A and B are shown apart, each in its own frame.
Chain A
């Protein structure tokens, strides 16, 4: 029964309304997921270390995130004396805002058939099925938007570190800035390999290609590994959390922050991680695809319950990725800063450039189905080339000290001159 009023919406406006509803729902879901992934991390780390973890607030400690949030609100929002007040206030917002707006381009389920709704509104044409995309913003440059927005977080880290007028914060901010821009390059190049395979910047086209064929992690395993590592580095997660490593820099760039401003830094890290997991699922794990090798897959029938199944599959993959990142954090030791930089610039950037070039050459030769062989061949070439690569001298400078057991110096040795020449 058509709606017979003077209501004149176009189908495009229906999509906008759906998008805005999706955004409002997903933002709340993700903020809740952020709070509970902090809880999950505490529980996981407790289990990995044979502890119990938070279990006092509510049944099995389930209200712990609420208690944490309340406590953050009730704490004093203190601004120390020597800080740059404008930037100090701005920095938490500058890191939280880019973290929160990135997820809108990720389609969490396939398109849903809303022909019934459109007919009810009386704006349908005959013999037409209307499919609505359940995602925030259907941008034609979707993945570029997400990469661009995610990399804006570097301003918050650097400004937060600089404005605090604290040496720990300053060093943390500098390190964070250097690290985030360094890992952006291999991330962009690995993404480029995916774009070459998918042939589009649209998120739904990238997932569609993986629904029809194999997942990108099967086709481009090296790019997937590089991308995941860069994702951890971009969100300042261990083993790349040198910007906030407590054993060296106290709290890093958020040492001087308290109450909700600190909480925003903390939330932004987890929001980055959730967005990153969604992005990785979309790019490499085929979105809601259940068959990694192509062939039968969840049909794009458009029923709402099929959309629900697709969303559950997507969310489950995201959950696995987040739990994996947490397991990495509590398993691997932290890098040293020179190792971190060398991994990015001397390891990942050549490797990702190589992946991208191999992918484009394979495309030229029409070997689309043999991408995985290209990646494996690349790994073989790297292992063959490693022994003949130029070696660096021992990066561990041992400062000679008079009377030292390990690196003794002669009596007439001037220790201060060596120390000054080697301090980085």
Chain B
């Protein structure tokens, strides 16, 4: 019993996600139970003035769903470029570390990813020059 290498009971594949489903159900029940309980227990009173949006005590001026600064859209698009790039980098990182350091294959992997990152660095520098990151 004590001489053999221990084996882990860890399971692979889709079955390993079963506990994730359990925690999602538990979190969902926790949230719903809290919301339902507070709506049952809590007092209820309504009024025309009570329903107004809070604007530091003044009557609200117009709706809040207005046009807002386009910078938020541009920022979100720039974010997408990087986020997709990072998602591609995770599998690369895992594979790259398995290779022999300094080997030809490793150099190929590194070179490809440097090119890939260089393309998005060009986009990043362009966005910087265009003033996407300026919020003043």
Contact = CB atoms under 8 A, between A and B. Distances in A.
Interface of A: 11-12, 14-16, 18-20, 23-24, 27, 31, 72-78, 80-82, 89, 92-93, 96-97, 100-101, 104, 111, 113-115, 127-133, 136-140, 144-145, 162, 164-170, 174, 177-178, 181-182, 184-185, 188-189, 192, 195-196, 198-201, 250, 255-256, 259-261, 263-264, 302, 337-338, 341-342, 345-346, 349, 353, 356-357, 360-361, 363-366, 392, 395-397, 424
Interface in B31-84: 31-32, 34-35, 37-39, 41-45, 48, 50-56, 60, 63-65, 68-69, 71-72, 75-76, 78-79, 82-83
A138 B9 CA distance: 10
A397 B42 CA distance: 48
Contacts of A182: 75, 79
Interface residues on B, range: 35 or more
Residue among A81, A184, A397 with the most chain B CB within 10 A? A81
Contacts of A133: 8-10
Residue among B10, B17, B117 with the most chain A CB within 10 A? B10
B1 to A, nearest CB: 6
A100 B30 contact: yes
A337 B9 contact: no
Given A101-B27, A138-B11, A165 B64 contact: yes
A136 B17 CA distance: 10
Contact of A195 (B27, B35, B48, B90): B90
Q: Helix, strand, loop or mixed for chain A's interface?
A: helix
Contact of B96 (A74, A169, A264, A360): A360
Q: Helix, strand, loop or mixed for chain B's interface?
A: helix
Nearest to B98: A199
Nearest to A100: B27
A162 B82 CA distance: 25
Contact of A196 (B34, B52, B93, B117): B93
Contacts, number: 262
B122 interface: no
Nearest to A189: B86
A76 B31 contact: no
A129 B35 contact: no
Contacts of A23: 19, 22-23, 26
A261 B101 CA distance: 53
Contact of A177 (B28, B72, B133): B72
5 cross-chain pairs, A with B, having the tightest CB-CB distances, nearest first = A81-B51, A199-B97, A338-B135, A260-B38, A366-B101
A16 B89 CA distance: 31
A356 B64 CA distance: 42
A264 B31 contact: yes
Nearest to B30: A100
